[in-house]
Amino acid sequence: MPGFELFGELERNEVNDVLDSGVLMRYGFDGMRNGHWKAKALEKELQSTLQTKHVQLVSSGTAAVTVALASAGVGAGDEVIMPTFTFVASFEAIMMLGAIPVLVDIDDTLALDPKAVEAAITAKTKAVMVVQMCGSMGRMDALQAVCSRHKLLLVEDACQAIGGTYNSKPLGSIGDLGCFSFDFVKTITCGEGGAVITNNENYHTNADHYSDHGHDHVGNDRGAETHPFLGYNFRISELHAAVGLAQVKRLPEFLAIQKRNFNIIRETLSQIPEVTFRTVPEGGEESYAFLNFFLPNLEISNKVMLAFKEAGIDGCFHYYNNNWHYIRKWEHLKDLKSLFPISKEVKEGLEYLKSKTFKQSDDYISRNISCLIKLSWTEEEVRQRAVKMGEAIVSVLKQSR
C-alpha cells in the first residue's frame, strides 16, 4: 500500500469516462450519464471481492463506521467497546452518534483482547467494534462467541485490512457489519471514500437511506423520493468511485506485491532472536500491508526508531509516541475539547478516560514497530531495505547489552 503508487491507464480511463459523461454525483441525472454508474459498479465489484450480499459506498472510512452503527440502531447513551489501538476516527465516529466509546486492552494480535471485552460489558453495551489494524485481525472466533453470548453487534473496522482473510472469509465480512476506507493512503484508494458491507438486508437498506439524507432511492425521480427517516450526507462521488473501480480490479496484483515485499523483510528480521512478530490467529492471513514486530522493551524500540531515521529508513511507525493511533496521546478526547457542547451521556460515559490505565496495551504498543509495505519498491530495493533494517536493529541490541 498505498494504491496510488501504481496509478495507470485503468484509473485514468475510468475517471475520464465520468468527466465525459459530465455527471459527478452518484444519484440521479439518469439521462445525462448514458448508463454510466461508477458507484453502483464499484459496489457490485466489492460484493464479489468481499463475499458479501450488500455494499453501501460512503464518503470515508470514518463515515462508514458511523453509518454502520447508525444502521443497526446504535445511538445516544449506547456503549461501543473498541480497542486502545486504532486510528482516532474510530472513536470520533462513535461519538458522532452520541454513543460512548469504551476502550479496552489489545493483545498480541494488536486487536481487541476478548477477555478485556467480556470484562467491559455492561447493560448499556450495544456493540463490539474490532479494528483490524495494520492489515491483520483479532481473535475472531473468540470475539464472535462473546458477542453471541451477550447478544451484541460485532462490527469490523477493516479500514486498514482489505485483502486479509480469516478462515477463508475476507476481513470485514465476518461480523454483522464491516467498514472500509479508501482514502489516499489505503491499498485500494478512491482519494476519499469508504464502504459499509453486511449480509443483513435491513442494515443495508438503513445504510443506503441514512447516507443520503434519508432518500429511499425508489423510482427514477430523485425529487419524488420519500424519506422514511432522517439521514445525513455521507455520499461518495462518481469521480472517487471511478478511481476505486479501477483499483479494486487490481487488488490481487497489489496483494501479491505486498506479500512478496513483506516476506522478504520478515525473513531477514526473523533471524534476529530478539525480534518477534505480531500473532496472526490460526486460520488468518494478513493483507501484508504492514509488517509489525516487537522488540524487548520501550527503550530499545525508541533507539531502533532513531537508528532507522539515521539510516534513511522511512515508513516505520512507533505508535506509543503517536498522536493519532493510540489512546496515550489523545488528550483532546480525554479532555473533550469540542467546538460544540457534548451531551451529558457522553460526558459522563467518558469520565473513565481521566483515570483509566491500559498497562497491557502499553506493553504491546511500546515494543511494537509497524512498517508500511510499499507497492512501488523493486525486489532489490526491498532486499536492501531489509538488510539495513536488520543492521540497525542488531546495532542497537549490541549497544543495549
CA separation, residue 401 to residues 143, 196, 274, 395, 397 (Å): 40, 49, 12, 10, 6
Give the bridge partners for 58, in sequence order: 194
pLDDT in tens, 210-265: 999 999 999 989 999 999 999 999 999 999 999 999 999 999 999 999 999 999 99
| pLDDT for position 34 | 86
| pLDDT for position 401 | 82
The yes or no reply on domain 252-400 and CATH 2.40.50.140 is no
Which has the closest alpha carbon to 372: 6, 3, 105?
A: 3
| pLDDT for position 91 | 96
CA 390 to chain centre: 29
CA dist 210 and 207 (Å) reads 5
| pLDDT for position 1 | 81
Phi, psi dihedrals of residue 292, rounded to the nearest 5°:
-110, 125
Lowest mean pLDDT among 63-77, 326-340, 371-385: 326-340
Q: Is the pLDDT of residue 382 over 90?
A: yes
| pLDDT for position 129 | 98
- When pLDDT is cut at 50, 70 and 90, the band that residue 82 belongs to is very high
Alpha-carbon radius of gyration of the chain: 22
Domain 3-250 sits in CATH at 3.40.640.10
CA dist 1 and 196 (Å) reads 21
- When pLDDT is cut at 50, 70 and 90, the band that residue 327 belongs to is very high
Domain segments of the chain as ranges: 3-250, 252-400
| pLDDT for position 61 | 98
Q: Which residues are catalytic?
A: 186
Question: To the nearest whole percent, how much of the chain has pLDDT over 70?
Answer: 100
| pLDDT for position 255 | 98
